Structure 1
Amino acid sequence: MRRLVFGLVLLVVCGPAVAQPPPPGLPSARVQHVFPLGVKAGTSVEVIVTGNDLEEPEKLFFSHPGIRGEYVSPPKDPTPDPKDPKKTVPPPKTNPAGPHKFKVTAAGDVPPGLYDLRFVGKWGASNPRTFAVSDQIEVAEKEPNNDVPEAQKVELGTTVSGVISAPTDVDYTSFTGKKGQRIIVSCLASSIDSKAAPMIEVFDLSGRKLAANRNYHENDALLDVILPADGDYYVRLFQFTYTVGGPDYFYRLSIGTAPWIDAVFPPVVEPGKPTAVTVYGRNLPGGQPADGVTADGRPLEKLIVTVTPPADAVGKLTSLTHVNPTTALQDGFTYALKGPGGVSNPVVIYLAGDKLTVLTAPANTPDAAAVLDGPGEVAGFLARRGDRAWVAFRAKKGEKVALNLAAERIGSNGDFFFSVRDGKDPKRDLSGEQDDDNDTLHPFGFYTRTSDPGPYTFTAPEDGKYYVMVGCRESSYLSGPKAAFRLRLGSLVPDFCAVVMPYSRFYQTGSAAWQGGTQAYHVFAHRADGYTGTLEVAAEGLPAGVTAKPLMIGPAARWGVLVLNVAPGTAPVTSAITVKVTGTDPVGKTLVRSARPASVTWGTQQPDQNIPVVSKLDQSLVLAVRGEKAPFHITADVPNATVKSGMGKEEKVNGPIIVMKQGDKASVPVRVEWATDEKPNVTLTVESMLQQQQNAPVTVGIAGQPTKDKPDVVVNLDARTNAAPGTYTVTLRGLSQVPFQKDPMAKGKGPNLPAEGFSTPITVQVIPTAVVKIAAPTLPGNTLKIGTDGELVVKVDRQHDYAGEIKLKFAPPTGVTGVTADEVTIPAGQGEAKLVLKAASGTKPGAVSNATITATAVYAGKYTITHEAKVSFTVAEEPKKK
């Protein structure tokens, strides 16, 4: 189950409570901690930022334009001594790398939720840290608060930013309430990038424990309590098991009467269509008891509201809450509810891709199954413990029905599975149990594996009725709207989406692009319903002086590296950019999707182990160009590359793209140019495009490594004979050790530090050697009579999704005359045509061996590919006239 996997990832990645050392390399701003962790909309707060490489701060950059972060400069001049005005106090010594103080102001119209905060300074824009905007009172934890007498007193409707500073640290907070009030106590941890796993408890003045909770959602905690009497109450907060603590273990503790949304049903709605949904939660304004529905043993309320989803939300996920990789590939939008006590927690409502059917009554037996009258989606939940959900559909013999079940991917807590059952005998399993999908977008950079089943295509064995039975491993104790699922049935709809992350592999990082250098981003492509097209990835909104050639992710590739080139002398700038991904669907329609920004939340101290890092979706992608000069630049000279065909013919490319047939080889000149006098050696490696790089469609070999004496090397490409046709980008990464002195006033060149750079892209188009297979054609009776026609039916099996027309031409073998056929065309999308063979009067009778049928196709609109098939027959005497 993925929840266990997530916990193990946190344990391995976060490790014990020690400060995480900065990754090796040239300086790049990295934020570790932000405190306090939020601000009330319409107010300002002073925020302290700490991390690595934070010299010369400029500002904080937020993902919402209504939030500003202005640097508060420390005093530079001596100030009067308040005890003796004649004396002065020298300004305090400050560490140029922080901590730094900023004044953060949130406009009054900024919606409550979680946003990205980035530090901007001399060494670029940092990785994002989560920063909250609320409509509550915001205060910082005040020590000492380690016992009841020291409890920090707060009003209801207050959020406390705090830190579990040591493994045995216990933080007490007190509030005053009235009898009958339903108090919500929320403690955000994993949702705000914290390593903490807090436990929260509520006590009355007598020391009686009224409620406790941990792991409400991942490592966040939530409880509610109906106060038994007027008076004071205490919240006790601590790290569960008391084993870890420190500055990485921060939290946001909220105490109040604002609404809390536990679930929305249906969890998925149709885009652009106003829809009535039921909100399940606590302190819902106008809410009614949701009989029998609980969360962590607490009764929930329900409230019917109408939501209006955005109409243009296909391919988008807009969220003001934490989005981890498991839910990151869904489309959806944010919803929140306002009550007398404030605005609720934001939640995501997901978007259907087809007509939606909602299970409004328990469909827990085949007889009670919901019936679909065509392709569509079903939204449901397990109504009672131990339940299954049944959905009925009809299909014709041989019809293929695609099924896709999502539960954990839409935030449900269970491990769901399904099977297709016989409509005549529901106990007869036709598909086998479909369970966990082991696929992931990336094995360690963005780990999307879930406990949901993978996509499954069912082929109906006969005309009739069929059932889909949906179950959950935890159904013995899990039920209700928090055990919701979405099930899609219908034809395959090939599509794609993508995630873009700063190239960091194992560490949290932001952007620090140096003049004459590069900024690289990993792009991970998710192909849905068998999408096999080439994806073109392009950066948009780039500042002047920054350019990027498209990254091409071909059919056999899972990911690639998008490289931005920064021209020498480019002005320093920090700005948000976007990455668009373009592809073509099977009918030729252009599809454009925005890549979803993401980043590493916590890196790993064991980068060689390929352990999945903790990562999340971001709300923006930021590029920062700085005035330092990159130590080297790598140029792939594609126009001067040569391609050697399988027949031994060698040609120069003379263009921006290397075109190779399956089996061809190419050689690309690559040159390294240094901007430093030392010109240290550079080690080149090729960036992978799928997990098993040895199976890549284009294999790459590097002949030698560049040195100051031999800066030119050759990169050899080999298109496999079975390579999936398409366009691919080959990217080289260069690594060198360069002397660097961070302090310009320091003496000497400084220690050697790892420096990396990326080549200009090598774009390779692999074209097939064949796009059809020709079935061996025969004439009726294998005979052509002189003076008559014979129909030769030529059938082709199309390959590599080629759908264009095919021209057929007949040629008799050398020495045979009189046998001819007019050229014919197999229309686009069809599989056969008739060549009409004619034997003219006077044609010599006898055997005709190995006549040639040539099939000519134009691939990708410009590449002519020919195929041949042989046909043998007998030319018979002309029928005698009576």
Structure 2
Amino acid sequence: MAAMFCTLPTPSLRTAFQQARRTATALLVLLAVPAVCPAQSVGLPAPRLLTTMPMGGQAGTQVNVTITGDHLEDVSTLLFSDSRLSAAPRLDADGKPLPMQFVVTIATDCPAGIYEARVQCRLGLSTSRIFSVGNLPEIVQKAGNTSVETAMELPLNAVCNAVMTVRSADHYSFEGKRGQRVFVDVASRGIDSKLEAVVIIADAMGRDLVVERRSGALDFQVPEDGRYIVKVHELTFQGGPAFYYRLALRELPVDAIATRQAGSRRVSAASWPPVGLPAEAALTETEPNNDGAQAQQVTLPCDLAGSFATAADVDVFEFEATAGDVWWVEVGSQRLGLPTDPAVLVQHVTGTGESESATDVAELNDIASPVKVSSNGYAYDGPPFDAGSSDVLGKIEIKTTGRHRLQLTDLFGGTRNDPRCIYRLVIRKGTPDFALAAWGLHMELRNGDRNALSKPLALRGGATMALEVVAIRRDGFDGDIELGMEGLPEGVSARGLKIPAGKSRGLMLLTARADAPISRSSATFVGKAVINGTEVTRPCHLASYAWPITDSWSEIPSPRLLGDIVVSVTGQDLAPATIASAGTACFEVVAGQKLTVPLTLTRRSDFQGASVSLKPQGAGMESVPPLKVVFAEEKAEAVIDTATLKTPPGDYTLAFLGGAVTKFRLNPEAVPIAELARTKAEQDLQTIDGELKKATEAAAAANAEQKPDAEKSATELAEKKKGAAAALAAANEQLKKVTAAAQPKDIADILVTEPISIRVTPAESK
């Protein structure tokens, strides 16, 4: 019998080489469900915006954008995370909206950068897709530029929006002048594309001059006047709509810093920067500082900016420290979006020259994930959300007063010469704090359907959605973290299951009333904790997949942080079931006694199996017996024995969740509407056909004077008949489509009860 699991976070995508370094045991939360077949779908249908073409535009212009996606029925609006971008439906010659097409207006004062784009449709607000805004003129790729002869000419200082040609290289040409500095920058992964770009600059004959297979960017100094070719291809020569890119071709001054196009942040970046860190470091690394004899002298505390500029670069710093001092060392580099893996070695040093002696004090490397990651670093057991990082965060305890040496290296920089691989080194006294990241709770099937599906916060009426929240604790902070969300749409509430002291995981539960209207809003998601007697509030960053992947053993998922948090309600689709506490908003029980919580089941769909067992979630409540829900009944009971749990007085929130397989029907209301449309199309065709027969007969019987007008009328009706026949064919196709979609399908998903509030009061003293 197959079983279903709900996975905790697994590693974020860096590179295959980085992933191969990681091995850990997967932590799975069992969701008991009946056996499922290999054709089992996972996750109820959700709206997902997949592509926009083009993927961006120049500030102060209008852009015609075409979109594609999954479950984007009845699209009404294209929305952006900034009001300086707006969209209106694109109209045809008759003034009718063109399907999936919009005119996007970018305000002149819209800053260059990336923004979240979403569409409003029948199922609510879709997942987001990055839309880029720049200051350079924008063009769109011309098809067929796959050879030197067909290379598309590009002007310098422009951006080309393109889609990678399958099993080929896209070719572009530009005119260069001797000594000119040309920076070629391909944005792909950072704008949600699946493309791993290889960039080549060749001469006019197509002979390769320089090649870059890792970063997608080339800094090129033109050797001679003439025509040059830029080739772009996918690392494994894949292509198609999901492999899009923005090619920027810029001329730069010789001494200018080459900056890349803006891109999204990895999940690991949720913990950077530390609160209060200045935008600019107080110190700058000074080369040469590659060994003890050339060590750069610093005074603690220190905040320093540097670079792993040369291959096998070792940056050495020395400072004086006193026995008993405790310092925290943090390095930010990989969390800046760079392919780096910083490592720190701290030593106590005595003597000089040949009499010098060094004793290791601390060796610091990766920031561990807050929760256990997958058992396989390449093909995941489940969602690869990993808030850990290859950056450094750890403490050094000074045992002996005197001179100390810190060596900072990039474990991936042995053969790379790239001054863009920068870092920020911070050495500080302990400043306890925390950072938060969250994502839609995911599940996987043990039968091999290891899905990685983006989950928009688009709620069906009567549904409760669980977000998994993890804390990255800094500088020894170990207290409770309360979770909260505000600014929700009408009819939606949020309750956080706190992250308890010493732990790193909690849940946020979003619940939509069954009668919640169609609505959407930007929400604020935070965590609160008391640190050193003061309450602090920190934002929670939401993460999602760049692309939905049905089987992450065959394709590596790519998660990222979202730029905003938007919650919506469909107002049209209802959850297959709602399980809610009955009778009171908060249940009270005396410490040491049992509490029975009555629950009601509102079932709107059939389920596979007679019942389901849901496991408890909530700080201090994980040992509560599972909740058994019988689908044929309308009631259930949760029993909480505070004596067995040894629950101290206080307020608690818990929920029960587990996997269930529902016989889901997608938009069955569309079937009768499509039937009416087909009936009308049939009637229209019959009416026009009758009129055509009469007109044809009239034309045949008309005299010479009447005949031209009669034949013209018959011809016009014949054209109308063709249009009516096409409309009938379209109506039949639509009816076939919605009828197939409305057929019951087995879909496995997470069933979550509404949150339950419990107050444990003190027992009377004897």
By the TM > 0.5 criterion, same fold?
A: yes
C-alpha distance in 1, partners of 2:411/2:363? 12
Superposed, 1:420-819 pairs within 5 Å as 420-424=346-350, 427-431=357-361, 433-440=363-370, 443=373, 444-453=383-392, 455-474=393-412, 476-478=414-416, 481-504=419-442, 506-585=452-531, 587-606=532-551, 613-628=557-572, 629-636=574-581, 649-650=592-593, 668-675=597-604, 683-686=612-615, 698-709=622-633, 711-716=635-640, 729-733=653-657, 735-746=660-671, 750-754=743-747, 756-762=750-756
Q: Is the Cα contact below 8 Å between 2:612 and 2:628 reproduced in 1?
A: no
* Distance verdict in 2 for CA 1:730–1:132, change over 3 Å: same
* 2:285 counterpart letter in structure 1: L
C-alpha distance in 1, partners of 2:47/2:178? 50
Which residue number corresponds to residue 191 of structure 1? 190
| Secondary structure, counterpart of 2:102 in structure 1 | strand
C-alpha distance in 2, partners of 1:516/1:565? 7
* 1:578 counterpart letter in structure 2: T
C-alpha distance in 2, partners of 1:351/1:685? 44
Give the counterpart of 2:218 among 210, 223, 230.
223
How far does residue 644 in structure 1 lie from its aligned partner after superposition?
Answer: 7.9
Which residue number corresponds to residue 829 of structure 1? none
How far does residue 148 in structure 1 lie from its aligned partner after superposition?
Answer: 2.3
Q: 1:821-873: per-residue Cα shift (whole Å, max 9, x none)?
A: xxxxxxxxxxxxxxxxxxxxxxxxxxxxxxxxxxxxxxxxx97999xxxxxxx
| Secondary structure, counterpart of 2:515 in structure 1 | coil
Q: Is the Cα contact below 8 Å between 2:491 and 2:513 reproduced in 1?
A: yes
Q: CA RMSD in A?
A: 4.0
| Secondary structure, counterpart of 2:623 in structure 1 | strand
How far does residue 75 in structure 1 lie from its aligned partner after superposition?
Answer: 7.9
* Distance verdict in 2 for CA 1:686–1:403, change over 3 Å: same
Give the TM-score taking structure 1 as reference length. Answer: 0.65
How far does residue 183 in structure 1 lie from its aligned partner after superposition?
Answer: 2.0
Which residue number corresponds to residue 249 of structure 2? 255
Structure with bigger RCO (C-alpha 8 Å, 6+ apart): 2
Q: Is the Cα contact below 8 Å between 2:479 and 2:502 reproduced in 1?
A: no
* Distance verdict in 2 for CA 1:6–1:112, change over 3 Å: farther
* 2:15 counterpart letter in structure 1: R
How far does residue 503 in structure 1 lie from its aligned partner after superposition?
Answer: 4.2
* 1:509 counterpart letter in structure 2: K
Q: Percent identity?
A: 24
Q: Is the Cα contact below 8 Å between 2:185 and 2:218 reproduced in 1?
A: yes
Superposed, 1:367-446 pairs within 5 Å as 367-382=293-308, 385-424=311-350, 427-431=357-361, 433-440=363-370, 443=373, 444-446=383-385
| Secondary structure, counterpart of 2:546 in structure 1 | strand
| Secondary structure, counterpart of 1:379 in structure 2 | strand
Q: 1:323-379: per-residue Cα shift (whole Å, max 9, x none)?
A: 11233321289xxxxxxxxxxxxxxxx935998443335333435444444434333
How far does residue 493 in structure 1 lie from its aligned partner after superposition?
Answer: 1.4
Which residue number corresponds to residue 72 of structure 1? 90
* 1:323 counterpart letter in structure 2: R
C-alpha distance in 2, partners of 1:636/1:229? 76
How far does residue 552 in structure 1 lie from its aligned partner after superposition?
Answer: 1.7
Q: Is the Cα contact below 8 Å between 1:700 and 1:718 reproduced in 2?
A: no
Larger radius of gyration: 1
* 2:391 counterpart letter in structure 1: D
C-alpha distance in 2, partners of 1:439/1:44? 43
How far does residue 423 in structure 1 lie from its aligned partner after superposition?
Answer: 2.9
Superposed, 1:298-313 pairs within 5 Å as 301=256
* 2:623 counterpart letter in structure 1: T
| Secondary structure, counterpart of 1:746 in structure 2 | helix
C-alpha distance in 1, partners of 2:555/2:203? 44
How far does residue 418 in structure 1 lie from its aligned partner after superposition?
Answer: 1.9
The structure with the largest helix share of the pair is: 2
Q: Is the Cα contact below 8 Å between 1:555 and 1:724 reproduced in 2?
A: no
Which residue number corresponds to residue 48 of structure 2? 30
Structure 1 unaligned residues grouped into runs of 5+: 10-20, 78-90, 258-282, 289-300, 306-318, 334-349, 653-666, 691-695, 767-861, 867-882
Question: Which range moves more in the overlay, 57-66 or 748-757?
Answer: 748-757
Question: Which range moves more in the overlay, 374-383 or 706-715?
Answer: 374-383
* 2:121 counterpart letter in structure 1: G
How far does residue 140 in structure 1 lie from its aligned partner after superposition?
Answer: 1.9
C-alpha distance in 2, partners of 1:355/1:47? 41
| Secondary structure, counterpart of 1:482 in structure 2 | coil
Structure 2 unaligned residues grouped into runs of 5+: 1-12, 22-38, 374-382, 444-451, 673-738
Q: 1:677-706: per-residue Cα shift (whole Å, max 9, x none)?
A: 99995635337679xxxxx87324214223
Q: Is the Cα contact below 8 Å between 1:679 and 1:708 reproduced in 2?
A: no
* Distance verdict in 2 for CA 1:352–1:399, change over 3 Å: same
* Distance verdict in 2 for CA 1:53–1:204, change over 3 Å: same
Q: Aligned pair count?
A: 642
C-alpha distance in 2, partners of 1:135/1:63? 19
Q: Is the Cα contact below 8 Å between 1:419 and 1:429 reproduced in 2?
A: no
* Distance verdict in 2 for CA 1:503–1:621, change over 3 Å: farther
C-alpha distance in 2, partners of 1:66/1:185? 28
* 2:242 counterpart letter in structure 1: D
Superposed, 1:79-158 pairs within 5 Å as 100-158=100-158
Q: Is the Cα contact below 8 Å between 1:697 and 1:720 reproduced in 2?
A: no
How far does residue 71 in structure 1 lie from its aligned partner after superposition?
Answer: 2.7
C-alpha distance in 2, partners of 1:710/1:610? 42
